Amino acid sequence: MANPKRRHSKARTAKRRSQYKVKSVPTTQECPNCSHAKLMHRACPTCGHYRGRAVIEVEGELY
């Protein structure tokens, strides 16, 4: 394995690390069944539907 000949400066390291951003807000979309916000690629917690079919049972109607 190759090893670095010289140490990288703190500024160079910080410039590289500045691109590692953390998404603070997860991506949401509107549920096509009940129109509530839900996380993408997850079943809707309000109605229990995912990709047009019921996949989880929800206690009572919340909406």
Q: How many CA atoms lie within 13 A of 2 on its CB side?
A: 3
The per-residue pLDDT for 25 is 78
11 inside domain? no
Q: d(Cα 56, Cα 49) in Å, to the nearest integer?
A: 7
- Does residue 4 belong to any structural domain of this protein? no
Q: How many beta carbons lie within 10 A of that of residue 47, not counting itself?
A: 19
59 lies in some domain: yes
Biggest CA–CA distance in the chain, Å, is 65
Structural domain span for residue 60: 26-63
Q: Tally the domains of the chain.
A: 1
Beta pairing partners, 54:
49
pLDDT tens-digit map of 6-34 = 999 999 999 999 888 777 778 899 999 99
